[in-house]
Amino acid sequence: MEQTTIDGISLSLAGPVSLSLKWVGQDELLQQLLAAWMVIDDRDIPFNPRLIGKPGVGKTTLAYAAARRLGRPVYLFQATMDTRPEDLIITPVIGPDGKIQYAASSLVSAMLKGGVLILDEGNRMSEKAWASLAPLLDDRRYVESIITGLRVPAHRDFRIVVTMNEDSSTFEVPEYIHSRLQPQIFIDFPEADEELMILKENLPFAPTRILKYVVDFLQRAHAADELYSVRDGINIARYALKMMAATGKDAAELLPLSVERVLGDEALRYLT
Average pLDDT, the chain: 93
**pLDDT of 260 over the 80 cut:** yes
**Residue 122 in this model has a pLDDT that exceeds 70:** yes
Spatial CB neighbours of 105, under 8 Å, sequence gap ≥ 6: 14, 77, 87, 88, 89, 90, 91
Q: How confident is the model at residue 168 (pLDDT cuts 50, 70, 90)?
A: low
Q: How far apart are CA 164 and CA 141, in angstroms?
A: 22
SS3 state of residue 40: coil
Confidence of residue 21 (pLDDT cuts 50, 70, 90): confident
Mean predicted confidence (pLDDT) in 76-91: 95
- Beta strands 142-144 and 90-94 are unpaired
**Which pLDDT score is estimated for 217?**
96
CB of 117 closer than 8 Å to CB of 136: no
Given CA atoms 96, 102, 108, 114 in this order, what sign does their dihedral have? Answer: negative
- Going by pLDDT thresholds of 50, 70 and 90, the confidence category of residue 22 is confident
pLDDT exceeds cutoff 80 at 272: no
Q: Which residues contact 72 (CB under 8 A, 6 or more apart)?
A: 114, 115, 116, 157, 159
Task: Report helix, strand or coil for 118.
Answer: strand
**Contact call for residues 152 and 102 (beta carbons, < 8 A):** no
What predicted TM-score, i.e. pTM, was given to this entire model? 0.89
